Amino acid sequence: MYLPRNLKLLRNRANLSVDSVATQTDVTPENLTKFEEGNKTPSVAEANRLAALYNVSLEALLFRFMLC
């Protein structure tokens, strides 16, 4: 799964802090960091909110696609 890499890449491309993304998606900063490190998997609802924030499909967020 490419989720951790994609989350960090998208956040950096958007020039957003962990705290900013956490606030906008109702995910704790701690959990967001765990998602980006691959130590925890977001719920479907959390993943959908993250995909919406970055304006990508859920499939693009979870898999390789063309985010690299």
CATH number for the domain harbouring residue 42: 1.10.260.40
Number of domains in the chain: 1
- pLDDT exceeds cutoff 80 at 1: no
- The range of the structural domain enclosing residue 21 comes to 3-62
Average pLDDT rounded to a whole number, residues 42-55:
97
Quote the pLDDT of residue 17: 98
Long-range contacts of 58-64 (CB under 8 A, 24+ apart): 60/6, 61/3, 61/6, 61/7, 61/10, 62/1, 62/2, 62/3, 62/6, 63/1, 63/2, 64/2
Q: Look at residue 65 in the predicted model and tell me its pLDDT.
A: 64
The average confidence (pLDDT) of the chain is 93
- 66 band by pLDDT with thresholds 50, 70 and 90: low
Q: What is the band of 64 on the pLDDT scale with cuts at 50, 70, 90?
A: confident
Q: How confident is the model at residue 26 (pLDDT cuts 50, 70, 90)?
A: very high
Rounded-to-integer distance, Cα 8 and Cα 25, Å: 15
**Chain centroid offset of residue 4 CA:** 7
